[in-house]
Structures are given as C-alpha cells and as structure tokens.
C-alpha cells in the first residue's frame, strides 16, 4: 500500500514511539532482547524477543506502560560512540551486537532516553522528549525471523499506529475497524472464492470455481482493452536456467528470493519470478526489421517468489502470483505512441471500478547508481521520455526518487479505494537496459542494426493482490458483471419450480450467471442467504408472477423493484453486464 510521505515531525514522533515501545517491553519484561524498530506508513513497530511471549491481551498492558513513559517527559539525546563503547553498552543485546558489526565505519549512533535510563542503537531522528510523541495505539502482533531469514531466531513484531491528535487517531482507528470487517481473507471464505491448504503450503492460494470466475472476468477485461491495440498472446515455461537471469541482471539482485529447482542433470533451474527475460528470447528468436515493429507480447502467467512466511498475507502477499504482463518491443520513435496507448488502457480499466488514479513518476536514486543497470545518460533519457508523456496528458503527478525498477524508470498509478487507502497498482516501465544486455536489435530502413526499446506494462499487477483490493473496496459486494452468481431465482414454493427453471434457462441462454434456489425453505430465508452471498439481483417467483409470466425484482442495494416482464429485466441485465456498470 503506497502513501504520500507524512510530514517530518510526524515521522520523528513515530520513530520515537518505537523506542518508547522497546523501553516499555524491557521495563515490564527485563529479559527483552531488542531487534529493529522503524516507522511505518501510519505508525511504528518494534521487534522483540522475550522468554514468555507477548499475547494480544498484553497489548493493553504495554500501551499503558508506554503512556506512563510518555508522561515522564524523558529527554532524548542522539550521540555517536565508537564501536568498542557500543559493544559494552549492548553486551546483553545479541541482535544489537550483530547490527554493530554490520555498520560501516568506526562509530555508531545511539539514542539516549532519560539520561541513560534507556539506550538503544539508532541513526537519529527523534522528538525532544517522550512527552512529544503524540497519540498512539498498539494494534497487533506477528511473528518474524531476525533479518527475514528463516534460519535465524524468531522474534515478535509489535505494531502500533500514531498521529499528532486524538481526533486523527480516532478516525484512523475507525478506518482500521472497517478494514477489519472488509478483510479479503474473511470475505473470500464467506463467499467461497479461495482457500489455503497446509498440505499445499503457505502463500499458495487455491481458487474455487467461484473465485476462478472472478479471475477470468478480470483477465478477459484486460484482453478486451489491449487486443484491439495489437497485443498478441505468448506462452512461456515456468522454469529457466539461471543463466537467463545472470544475463538480465536479476540473478545478482534477487537470487536469494528465487525457488531453485534440481533435476536429474547437473543443470540448475529456477522458478521464474518475472517474465520479461523469457519474452526477450521470443524477440531474439529471429531477425527483426523496422517493418515488424512494434511487437506487443502479452501473457497472464504465474510467477514464483520465495517470500518469507512471516510476510505472507492472504492474497496480498503470496508465493505464487499471477501477473497480467505485457512487453512492447519498439523503436525510439514509437515509444511515445505506445506509452500513450498503455496509459489510455489503464485509465479505461480503472474507471470501471470507480478508482481515483494518481500517477507517480518513479525515478532512480542518482546518489546510488550501483543499485541500477545502465549509464546516467540512459537513465536521464528514459526519465525524460516518461515525464513528457505525463506532461502531454496534463497529469497531476508527483516524482519520487529511488522508486524506479533496477533496470528503468516507471510511471506507477496509485489507486484510492473506498476506505481512502492508497494502493500502487498499474505501471508503465521504460527499459533501455535489458535490450542492451540481451543485444536485442532490428534492421532500420537503411539496413543498419539498431537497438530496440522495451516497454514493460502491467494493468492489474498481480491478479491475486488486485482481487484482494477489490474484495475490500466493495466489501465483497462485487458489481454485477464481476459477481460469480449474478442472479438468484427464488421460487416461493415448489409449485413455482417449473417456471423458475424456465426463467433460469432463458437467462442462462443470454450468458447471465444464474442459479435457482429450489430448497424447501421460506422465501425470507432464501432472500437473507442470497444477501449474505452478496448476489446482485434476486428474481422472486410466486403464484402471481407465474400467472402473469413476470418476476419480482429485488436488487442487492436498492431492495424491491416491483414486477418486471422477464424479457425486460433480461435486457437490462445484459446491458448492465456489457457496460460493466
């Protein structure tokens, strides 16, 4: 979830609160060993290790102790000490000692709270005293491995939120409560959309027929927008030799995040974490002329990343993610037109969900060129090209240094959901580096070899993550076109079953996803259960409806709509589905 950066004062308050949390844990449990404690988008967390672990019920006790420390108005002083002194200060803190050895230079920063009452390793950035940390609330716990490695010790991560005023905290707490109601994991189980199995493994979701219907609708929507623009589908294997990623540059940066595969031979394979290197090899499979360009390859395919167990979260963070992926190979002169086409596709797609989009130009960090592929000249050229597109679209965008992919800058689209939360979703990425690393060329009009340009684009991003966002955005009440069951036919008694089946058959022939509830239950119970399942339209059939060859229409949000001729409601539904209202 992406957020605009909060003001510097608020960041300092949250940073200080993380130290206050650590101090509270140690005061209540002197055996506390401390990990790291950074700020988050809306608060802070701290990793701790205690002999008798904290529970959710203990959060109130910890929060009370933090408030006591806040009242003490303890001064906070930042200072530098040499590493020998630091080792003495933290002789009983093994994780701090490990961090000291990882820090470059002869000195390290320490934060001194209450004139030596509580000292911790820190680079600085605090408010003046504990009384200045604002209004906070501890929210939850999770288990994590030290420095994210499963081979290391397990710690507890204690999360909190913090704002400058009580009103802001109250408003955010209400937002958290609503978000909890809308948790996609809860909704997914209630609506029978997906599940997880301990035999399959964490982070590997299994989609039911109902959940798969939603996936297919989303994928088909994207294809309906891009195929008229010349995108062609390709298909690639799910494994590759590691040499592909050594050439692309992914191996050096991501080799520890890949699933490694060992077969009968000595050749080492990995499960693909992305698709672009494979797609370059389709392009490279034969000589290309300027007449062939642009080439637009698209694919909806699963990628695999060895995420840490503690970081997995429902569909939001998984080990098997389905990417709606496409790559355009074009000339430099074609870049602007291709990127504008992608931009238009993204805007049209997200308008169907009433998401507010805000573009962000994600730039490289020129102070750390070692993190990226390519030269300064290549990066400046690529960033200017993206900036020109945004200016041409008269977009209200922000620029963020250090948010680029390691191979090129990008335009990221931030979508705001119904709860006002921001999510980074669609992206357009311009890449001069992979074509150079794979020597991807074409022959121009003069017969000379020229380097092709590569554009990466994603509309949905990860299908799983997008589904999670949608389920929470709509609180499970998906629009008609996207709902697994669009219509429920509810006969009042068994006497109306023949007509109910006739209605169902006619709607199904119009490609409407319809089910008949033929159980011997009261009509009230049938309606309530259809509401629980978030069915958009219910057609109720009693004796009168059967005699008049009509149906009583009930909408999920609007309630009873009165009687309608079957042909009329069928036409209305077909049009609504077509328009993706």
Nearest to 165 by CA among 154, 173, 153, 155: 173
**Has 281 been annotated as catalytic?**
no
Structure tokens at 424: 């980074």
Strands (E), 164-294: 194-195, 206-207, 232-233, 239-241, 260-262, 268-271
3-state SS class at 348: helix
* Catalytic-role residue among 456, 457, 526, 570: 456
Kindly state the tokens that stand for 279: 């797609």
Cα–Cα distance for residue pair 553/61, rounded to 1 Å: 53
Active site residue 325: yes
- Which of 305, 421, 526, 570 is catalytic? The answer is 305
Query: How far is Cα 521 from Cα 515, in angstroms, rounded to an integer?
Result: 16
Strand pairing category for 398-401 and 356-363: parallel
Residue 158: partners with Cβ closer than 8 Å, 6 or more residues away? 21, 25, 45, 46, 47, 48, 54, 59, 62, 138, 141
Is 461 within 8 Å of 426 (Cβ atoms)?
A: yes
Crossing angle between the packed helical segments 566-579 and 497-509, to the nearest 10 degrees: 40
> Residues 410, 513, 554, 570: which is the catalytic one?
410
Contact between 552 and 541 (Cβ < 8 Å):
yes
- How far CA 442 is from CA of 287, 328, 408, 445, in Å, comes to 7, 14, 21, 10
Instruction: Tell me which of 58, 112, 325, 417 is the catalytic residue.
Output: 325
**What is the DSSP annotation of 258-327?**
SPEEE-SSS-EEEE-S-SHHHHHHHHTTS--BGGG--EEEEEEEEEE----GGG-BTTTB-SEEEEEEEE
Q: List, in order, residues 6 or more apart from 181 with CB less than 8 Å away.
A: 475
With 0-12 / 13-18 / 19 or more C-beta atoms within 10 angstroms meaning exposed / middle / buried, residue 361 is buried
The active-site residue, picked from 184, 272, 276, 550, is 276
**CB 81 within 8 Å of CB 44:** no
Q: Choosing from 46, 126, 327, 534, which is the catalytic residue?
A: 327
Within 8 A by CB and 6+ apart from 238, the residues are 271, 272, 301, 302, 304
Catalytic-residue membership of 278: no
Residue 305 known to be catalytic: yes
Sign of the dihedral defined by the CA atoms of residues 290, 341, 360, 479, in that order: negative
**Two structure tokens written together for 212:** 């798969």
3-class DSSP state of 145: strand
Q: Is 327 a catalytic residue?
A: yes
Return the active site residues: 276, 305, 323, 325, 327, 410, 456
């Amino acid at each position: 979830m992406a957020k605009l950066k909060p003001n510097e004062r608020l960041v300092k308050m949250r940073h200080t609160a993380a130290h206050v949390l650590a101090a509270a844990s140690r005061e209540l449990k002197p055996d506390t060993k401390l990990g790291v404690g950074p700020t988050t988008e809306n608060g802070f967390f701290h990793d701790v290790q205690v002999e008798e672990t904290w529970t959710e019920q203990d959060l109130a006790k910890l929060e009370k102790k933090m408030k006591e420390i806040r009242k003490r108005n303890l001064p906070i002083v930042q200072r530098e000490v040499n590493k020998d002194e630091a080792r003495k200060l933290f002789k009983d803190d093994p994780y701090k000692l490990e961090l000291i050895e990882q820090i470059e230079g002869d000195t390290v920063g320490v934060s001194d709270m209450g004139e030596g009452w509580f000292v911790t390793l820190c680079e600085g950035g605090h408010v003046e005293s504990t009384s200045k940390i604002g209004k906070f609330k501890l929210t939850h716990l999770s288990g994590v491995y030290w420095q994210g490695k499963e081979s290391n010790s397990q710690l507890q991560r204690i999360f909190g939120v913090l704002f400058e005023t009580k009103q802001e905290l109250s408003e955010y707490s209400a937002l958290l409560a609503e978000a909890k109601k809308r948790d996609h994991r809860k909704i997914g189980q209630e609506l029978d959309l997906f599940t997880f199995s301990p035999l399959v493994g964490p982070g590997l979701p299994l989609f039911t027929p109902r959940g798969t219907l939603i996936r297919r609708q989303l994928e088909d929507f994207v294809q309906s927008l891009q195929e008229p623009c010349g995108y062609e589908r390709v298909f690639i294997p799910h494994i590759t030799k590691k040499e592909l990623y050594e050439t692309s540059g992914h191996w050096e940066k991501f080799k520890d995040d890949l699933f490694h595969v060992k077969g009968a031979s000595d050749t080492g394979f990995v499960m693909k974490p992305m698709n672009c290197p494979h797609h370059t090899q389709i392009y490279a499979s034969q000589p290309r002329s300027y007449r062939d360009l642009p080439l637009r390859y698209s694919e909806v395919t699963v990628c695999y990343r060895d995420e840490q167990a503690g970081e997995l979260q429902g569909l939001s963070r998984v080990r098997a993610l389905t990417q709606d992926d496409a790559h355009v190979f074009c000339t430099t002169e074609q870049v602007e037109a291709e990127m504008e086409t992608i931009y238009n596709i993204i805007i049209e797609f997200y308008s169907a969900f009433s998401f507010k989009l805000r573009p962000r130009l994600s730039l490289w960090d020129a102070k750390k060129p070692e993190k990226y592929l390519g030269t300064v000249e290549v990066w400046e050229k690529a960033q200017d090209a993206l900036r020109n597109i945004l200016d041409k679209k008269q977009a209200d965008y922000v620029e963020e240094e250090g948010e680029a992919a390691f191979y090129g800058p990008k335009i990221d689209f931030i979508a705001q959901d119904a709860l006002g939360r921001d999510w980074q979703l669609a992206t357009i990425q311009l890449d001069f580096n992979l074509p150079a690393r794979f020597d991807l060329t074409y022959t121009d009009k003069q017969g000379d070899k020229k380097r092709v340009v590569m554009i990466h684009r994603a509309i949905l991003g990860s299908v799983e993550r997008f589904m999670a966002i949608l389920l929470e955005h709509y609180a499970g009440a998906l629009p008609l076109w996207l709902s697994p069951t669009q219509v429920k036919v509810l006969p009042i008694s068994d006497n109306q079953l023949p007509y109910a089946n006739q209605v169902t058959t006619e709607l199904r022939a119009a490609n409407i996803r319809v089910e008949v509830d033929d159980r011997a239950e009261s009509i009230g119970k049938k309606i309530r259960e259809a509401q629980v399942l978030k069915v958009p339209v219910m057609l109720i059939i009693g004796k009168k409806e059967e005699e008049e060859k009509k149906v009583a229409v009930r909408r999920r949000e609007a309630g009873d709509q009165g009687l309608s001729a079957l042909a009329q409601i069928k036409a209305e539904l077909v049009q609504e589905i077509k328009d993706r209202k």
